[in-house]
Structure 1
């Protein structure tokens, strides 16, 4: 069986509230991800997963699907990241 701590985080938040009402649908990117992707680009190192994660965060600032609330809940459970 493959387990994921991040999926466990999502499960914990959904167990508390299946609608994730405390989370809005916007996910702000952290400075670390922006820095890492910028450095990777300068060094020509592929970082597709981190880059796509950053793009998804940026896209959430205009899109409004429930999936953004799930992402917001996972980040909150992982590191206490509160959305604006």
Structure 2
């Protein structure tokens, strides 16, 4: 039960915090995230940031990897993509793609 796992992490571990509270809420609303796809849409800011980092020869590996994962989410419907999509919806009202 993912909601119970999120509840334990949110309240009884060193990784507790607001994002874990939102994860618990997302699983309470859709226990297996079956109602959504793991698609993470983009506004283009991540791509612009990575392009600028490359031009400036500045390391930005986390932002670059997040951009690559966004692109991958357009092709592969994964569980971790669903979790990220549900979290983005919880904290920022980002649109989720419904099944």
TM-score, normalising length: structure 1: 0.81
Cα displacement (A) at 1:4: 4.7
Flag structure 1 segments of 5+ consecutive residues without an equivalent. none
Flag structure 2 segments of 5+ consecutive residues without an equivalent. 1-13
Cα displacement (A) at 1:26: 1.4
1:1-84 matched pairs, under 5 angstroms: 1-84=14-97
Superposed CA RMSD in Å reads 1.8
Q: Which has the higher contact order (CA 8 A, sep 6+)?
A: 1
Cα displacement (A) at 1:66: 1.6
TM-score, normalising length: structure 2: 0.71
The structure with the largest alpha-carbon Rg is 2
